[in-house]
Structures are given as structure tokens and as C-alpha cells.
């Protein structure tokens, strides 16, 4: 780590700021049929909002800063006030006039935890290069998510780069470690939008679907962990050739596969949770990223970072919203003693 990075502290997190309107339902409907809404919640959603709130709940011992756009409306005020009350620096969380705050209607099936999303892109679609001022931040890590769900930043410029790639390049020049997360979009845009950003990325988070779309190797087919590890090794090789600098982290219900550019590979099983603990999977990937980023910030070995990541994800699964199940990081880690890890 450079001297400049050693003198830095905190996470600067940018990207999607969303209010999730979560509907817990008894089953997912076929078209023109009816299901019952059992409970309703409104909560934080989106990579930036989730990760910062997760870290406050985990009692992260470093500063937290926000970058993004919300609408100049009731929901936008609600988000800014929530962050301010949580102790998050909101100097760069701005209100855009004449466009609503982004929101998602999330249906979560009670007995499976499976989620379906109906998303209004709203103010997030206007987030652009001019909304980032890295000079006023002394944070150590800059995280941006979700690529493929930020219209202006995903825009491909005449030279083949995206605005997101330019933002990440600027963050690297200013001395930040950089981290990104993707959204699970069903499209062919992975190959055109993501690769140009990766040479400016130190830590890449993605799930098995996103890794499959980016690499061309299918990780979504049900296979045993040995075969999954072999496939992940091929995925790592392909994506590292695109330029990731430090670590790739692929999260999956069975656990996390991670690889460092020098060839080191790790597998951290997820927790062996009883069915009654799993209420909803909304936000579990962001919780995992928050735990891993906390460990990276604190200089932990990657093995310990991944452990906190799967424990934070397990805590998240205990509630239908993204962050209401998250607890102090030591309590998250204690879940592994309570439930143990999956065995293969």
C-alpha cells in the first residue's frame, strides 16, 4: 500500500440511491392472477445506499461518505436525512430538480426468498462525471455500483471508453483504491460497457450470473463445488486479462470464490442457515460487499474479509429489507459460531 493510501481513511461510495418498496408475498403470480401481500416495508436500496447503511449498522470504525443523485422530493429528503442521521457525509449526495428519486418495487416470496424487481431509474439516470469531486475526500476506498444501472455513466464515448471508466481512472489518479459492483441485467451490454473500466478497478464484485455474462463461461448451472471452482478459475483468468488490478470476488448462495491477480484463489463457504432464518435475499450481495470492503479497509487478510462478508450476508437474510437484519460486525461474525459453514 502506498504512503498516500496509508494516510487515507474511510469509504467514499457512489452510485444507485433507491427507495425499495418491498412486498412480502405468499407466492409469485402468473399473469392475470392474484396473490396476497403479507407485509410491506419501505427501506434503503441500491449499491451505494445499501453499503453505507450496512457499514453504519456494522459499526465500521472509519468515515463514510456518499456521492449520488436523488430527486428534490419527499423520498429524496428522506434518503438524505436518513444518511445524515446515520453519520454519513452527504456533501456530494445532491438533489436533482424535476425528476423523481429512484425507486424499486420488490416482490419477495415468503417461503423461498426469491425476489422480482420493478425499477424506476429516476434521478440515478442523471449521475454524471461533474457530480464527482475526489479532491474534497480523504477516503481510502472509492466504491461505485451498480454499473449497467447508471445511464449517464454507462454511456459509451467516441473513443470506446465509458464515463464510468473515466471516473474510476480519476479516482485512481487521486490515490483511491477502487471497487465496483454490477447489476444482473439480461443483455449483451456486459462486453461493451464493463471491460473498459476494469484497468482502473482494484476490487471487482459480481455474482455468478454477472460473472457468466462478462466471461462467457456459465456459472449458473448447478454443479458441485469442485466443478464450480474449476469454472471460476477459468472465469478469473479471462476477466483478469481485461485488467482488474487486485482481487475478483464472485458471490454465490454456496459461498464466495475469490482470486488475486498473482494467482492466489480462495473459497469461503456460506453459513449453514436454518430455513426459518432466511426471510429475504434482498441486499445480501451488498451486505457481503460491505463486509469485504470493511476488512480490506482495516488491512485484514482476504480470508478474514470473505468470512465477514458471508456472515454479513447471512445477517441480511434474516430480514426482508436490505439492511434491517445487519448488526454490529462482531455479532455478524458470531453467526458462524451459531450456525457453522456449509460443508461440501
pLDDT digits (tens, 9 = 90+) for 287-331: 999 999 999 999 999 999 999 999 999 999 999 889 999 999 999
Match 470493511 to its residue by C-alpha cell: 294
Nearest one of 157, 129, 177, 149 to 298, comparing CA atoms: 177
Distance CA 287, CA 271 (A): 14
Tallying the residues shown for the chain, one arrives at 344
List the chain domain ranges.
3-339
Task: Please report the pLDDT score of residue 279 as a whole number.
Answer: 87
Output the average pLDDT for the chain. Answer: 95
Task: Please report the pLDDT score of residue 1 as a whole number.
Answer: 55
Q: CB 226: neighbour CB atoms within 10 A?
A: 9
Nearest one of 197, 117, 142, 121 to 164, comparing CA atoms: 197
Task: Please report the pLDDT score of residue 22 as a whole number.
Answer: 86
Distance CA 144, CA 151 (A): 13
Rounded to two decimals, the pTM is 0.94
Q: Do residues 236 and 263 touch, judged by C-beta distance below 8 A?
A: no
Task: Please report the pLDDT score of residue 223 as a whole number.
Answer: 81
151 has pLDDT over 70: yes
- DSSP-derived 3-state class of residue 301: coil
Q: Do residues 189 and 177 touch, judged by C-beta distance below 8 A?
A: no
CATH superfamily of 3-339: Ribokinase (3.40.1190.20)
**pLDDT, tens digit, 9 for 90 and up, residues 240-271:** 999 999 999 999 999 999 999 999 999 999 99
DSSP 130-173: GG--GGG---SEEEEEEETS-TTTTPBPTTS-BHHHHHHHHHHH
Task: Please report the pLDDT score of residue 246 as a whole number.
Answer: 98
- Residue 234 bridge partners (DSSP): none
Task: Please report the pLDDT score of residue 114 as a whole number.
Answer: 83
Amino acid at each position: 500500500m502506498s504512503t498516500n493510501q496509508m494516510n487515507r481513511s474511510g469509504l467514499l461510495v457512489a452510485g444507485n440511491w433507491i427507495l425499495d418498496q418491498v412486498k412480502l408475498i405468499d407466492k409469485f403470480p402468473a399473469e392475470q392472477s392474484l396473490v396476497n401481500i403479507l407485509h410491506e416495508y419501505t427501506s434503503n436500496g441500491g449499491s451505494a445506499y445499501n453499503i453505507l447503511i450496512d457499514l453504519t449498522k456494522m459499526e465500521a470504525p472509519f468515515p463514510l461518505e456518499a456521492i449520488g443523485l436523488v430527486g428534490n422530493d419527499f423520498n429524496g429528503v428522506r434518503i438524505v436525512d436518513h444518511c445524515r442521521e446515520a453519520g454519513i457525509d452527504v456533501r456530494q449526495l445532491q438533489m436533482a430538480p424535476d425528476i423523481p428519486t429512484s425507486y424499486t418495487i420488490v416482490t419477495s416470496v415468503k417461503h423461498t426468498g426469491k425476489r422480482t424487481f420493478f425499477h424506476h431509474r429516476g434521478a440515478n439516470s442523471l449521475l454524471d462525471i461533474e457530480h464527482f469531486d475526489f479532491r474534497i475526500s480523504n477516503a481510502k476506498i472509492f466504491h461505485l455500483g451498480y454499473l449497467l444501472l447508471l445511464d449517464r455513466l454507462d454511456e459509451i464515448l467516441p473513443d470506446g471508453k465509458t464515463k464510468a471508466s473515466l471516473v474510476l481512472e480519476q479516482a485512481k489518479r487521486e490515490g483511491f483504491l477502487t471497487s465496483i459492483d454490477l447489476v444482473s441485467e439480461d443483455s449483451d451490454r456486459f462486453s461493451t460497457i464493463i471491460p473498459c473500466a476494469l484497468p482502473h478497478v482494484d476490487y471487482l464484485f459480481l455474482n455468478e450470473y454477472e460473472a457468466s455474462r462478462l466471461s462467457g463461461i456459465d456459472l449458473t448451472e448447478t454443479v458441485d463445488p469442485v466443478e464450480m471452482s474449476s469454472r471460476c478459475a477459468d472465469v478469473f483468468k479471462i476477466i483478469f486479462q481485461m485488467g482488474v488490478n487486485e482481487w475478483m470476488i464472485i458471490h454465490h448462495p454456496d459461498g464466495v470464490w475469490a482470486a488475486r491477480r498473482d494467482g492466489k484463489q480462495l473459497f469461503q463457504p456460506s453459513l449453514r442457515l436454518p430455513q426459518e432464518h432466511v426471510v429475504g435475499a434482498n441486499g445480501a450481495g451488498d451486505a457481503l460487499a460491505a463486509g469485504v470492503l470493511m476488512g480490506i479497509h482495516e488491512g485484514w487478510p482476504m480470508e478474514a474479509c470473505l468470512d465477514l462478508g458471508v456472515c454479513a450476508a447471512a445477517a441480511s437474510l434474516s430480514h426482508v429489507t436490505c439492511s434491517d437484519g445487519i448488526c454490529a460486525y462482531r455479532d455478524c461474525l458470531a453467526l458462524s459460531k451459531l450456525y457453522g459453514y456449509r460443508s461440501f
